[in-house]
Structure 1
Amino acid sequence: MLTAYREHGNEWRGESAELPSTIIWLDLVEPTIEEQRLVERRVGIRMPTREALSEIEASSRLVVQRDVLYLSTPAISQGDNYESNISPIGFVLTPALLVTIRYSTLPTFDSVAERVRNDEALDCGVGVFVALLEAMVDRGADVLEHIGTKVDALSRSVFHDKNVAGNRPSRKSNRMRHMLTELGIHGDTLAQARDVILGVGRIASFVSDIAEDWIPDAFRKRLAAVSKDVVSLNDYETHLTDKVQFLLDAVLGYISIEQNDLFKILTIVSVIGVPPTLLAGIWGMNFHNMPELTWQFGYPLAWLAIVLSAVLPLIWFKLRGWF
């Protein structure tokens, strides 16, 4: 889908074969070949492919040809439940026009498009470009804040909520498995957010240096502010990553303790069962000459010996603090 934005919020969608004049922003969402050719013919630029936008090296993501900047970065496509997916987006920036190429619906682009429709201050391609970067940084901050809240809740559950799982091993195992899954999801989202934030910061710094001649001072200052925000968000993301790793180690440690306790119980039970089994095996032999068979109180004495052989090791383990 191709959407063109003109000055003062006028919007055009691809109903006709020709683009309108005085365009400040062309937004292509999963563009067709015909839409790409239309933009190339109208603007006089080459349209990057999805494979080119997915390149990870800086030489492919940050390219300048004459007065045209070709930029790309990953973006996080998310719903209300913050389930994240990485999708590449591309910017083609000229002194008069911004062209964006994306392959998923992004809330940041929708919010900036609404501002273009209603805000006359966004009346040039550079302004829209800076607004998009600012919106992506704000979105990244919201994602990190959301993950931070979830990680704090997991931390309280791991270290302070002692009665949630109860004493049933099955419930404890299910809860630990759930915690590991949550931590894995948060760690994966943090890695994606880090890629996006670093990409935005690299773009902001690159544009400020390369396009210094034709970017107004006000927008250059806002790009510098974006770079500073990226640095602070990167520090916060590092803090969250360390906290997720710490909680992961803690949960794995608790799982190891639970396993050790289980093996310890099994060991105690097996050791306690050895003496009674030995005595029962001895007195269960079918030899002809066994003095105990003629004892008047042999049967109750045998029971007493078997019970004591089980109870005495249990008392000894208890005194040693094994359970």
Structure 2
Amino acid sequence: MLKMYRSQSDDWRSAGTELAPEIIWIDLLNPSPEEKQFAERMANIRVPSEDSLSEIEVSSRLIRDHNLLYLSSPAVRLDEEGEAHITPIGFIIGPRVLVTIRFSPLPTFDSVANRIASDDSENGMCVFTSLLEDMVDRGADVLEHLGKTTDDLSKAVFKGGLVRAKRPVRSSRRLREALSNVGVLADRLAKARDVLLGVGRIASFAGDVGGEWITPPSKKRLEAVSKDVSSLSDYETRLSDKIQLLLDAVLGFISIQQNDLFKILTIVSVVGVPPTILVGVWGMNFKNMPELNWTFGYPLACLAVIASGLLPLLWFKRHGWFD
């Protein structure tokens, strides 16, 4: 039995002037003006624009207008290159029909659409609850993946895998890659946090405000969604702290590597000072320089230059500068 209209299909074109009694969901994907007019006429609603759904104020995302709930929340979409982007989605919930507005394909909607074709969903609130449950499940999967990636990167950082390279250039490249990976993890975690925060808000609001026509099973499911979001938020907080620790550690290793480089430059500059002084003294064109008349003056001068360079090296080694 057909339970929904989708803007990317021809179902809405063949619809009459009244909403069929079996329809409980109208899904608008990047709707055209004609599709917006169809949804507004059939469900007696107003379809918000993408800009209004993107507003961050809570008062703009959680609205009750007479017997309808206008809700919005961010979602994550993946482009062709696998990059994650935030996209808004809107929910308009009535006593019987749910209208969703989105501007990018999302796997959650396809999964729930296939599921309601065979389940016993009674109204739009049941579909809305299923969408939130699927979003929470996918958010949990994302956090698990981020947690595993963070653990792998943590092992590479704290067990010395990034700074074992004998060549400083190779070690610096690995540290830059690690710093870039930490930035990617932090960005994806921030997007997951935005989605979970939005889901938690609209689930709590719908459960509290839609009390007149929300069914007891749907209310319990929304409460479960809120609890799941709360537990995932705690996990996300711990993961965020771990990523911050990784960021500080990578930056610390980079600072240590820079200090080692400056230490090498300091040693080279100090070692080169005494030979330079000796060569400068003996290079002066004075007539009365007894060393010029010595038989072994030149070999002794070479030994003095070499010794003046070796003595600072031995001093640095004795004081642990090469450790």
The answer to whether the 8 Å contact 1:82/1:143 transfers is no
> 1:249 & 1:139 partners in 2: Cα distance?
29
* 1:239 matched residue in structure 2: 238
The answer to whether the 8 Å contact 1:201/1:230 transfers is yes
Question: 1:54-203 alignment to 2 at 5 Å?
Answer: 54-78=54-78, 83-117=83-117, 119-162=118-161, 166-203=165-202
The answer to whether the 8 Å contact 1:5/1:12 transfers is no
Residue identity in the other structure for 2:65: Q
Deviation at 1:173, TM superposition (A): 1.3
Residue identity in the other structure for 2:226: S
The answer to whether the 8 Å contact 1:116/1:123 transfers is no
> 2:25 & 2:165 partners in 1: Cα distance?
58
Secondary structure of the equivalent of 1:13? coil
Greater displacement, 70-79 / 28-37: 70-79
Residue identity in the other structure for 2:151: D
* 2:286 matched residue in structure 1: 287
Consecutive aligned runs of 4 or more in structure 1 exceeding 4 Å deviation = 79-82
> 1:139 & 1:169 partners in 2: Cα distance?
41
The answer to whether the 8 Å contact 1:115/1:122 transfers is no
> 1:16 & 1:26 partners in 2: Cα distance?
14
The answer to whether the 8 Å contact 1:68/1:94 transfers is yes
Provide the TM-score with structure 1 as the length reference.
0.93
Deviation at 1:42, TM superposition (A): 1.3
> 2:55 & 2:263 partners in 1: Cα distance?
53
Secondary structure of the equivalent of 2:3? strand
Provide the TM-score with structure 2 as the length reference.
0.93
> 2:278 & 2:178 partners in 1: Cα distance?
47
Secondary structure of the equivalent of 1:77? strand
> 1:211 & 1:15 partners in 2: Cα distance?
31
Unaligned runs of 5+ in 2: none
Secondary structure of the equivalent of 2:193? helix
Residue identity in the other structure for 2:174: R
The answer to whether the 8 Å contact 1:74/1:196 transfers is yes
Unaligned runs of 5+ in 1: none
Deviation at 1:62, TM superposition (A): 0.5
Percent identity of equivalent pairs: 57
> 1:273 & 1:120 partners in 2: Cα distance?
83
> 1:38 & 1:98 partners in 2: Cα distance?
14
The answer to whether the 8 Å contact 2:162/2:171 transfers is no
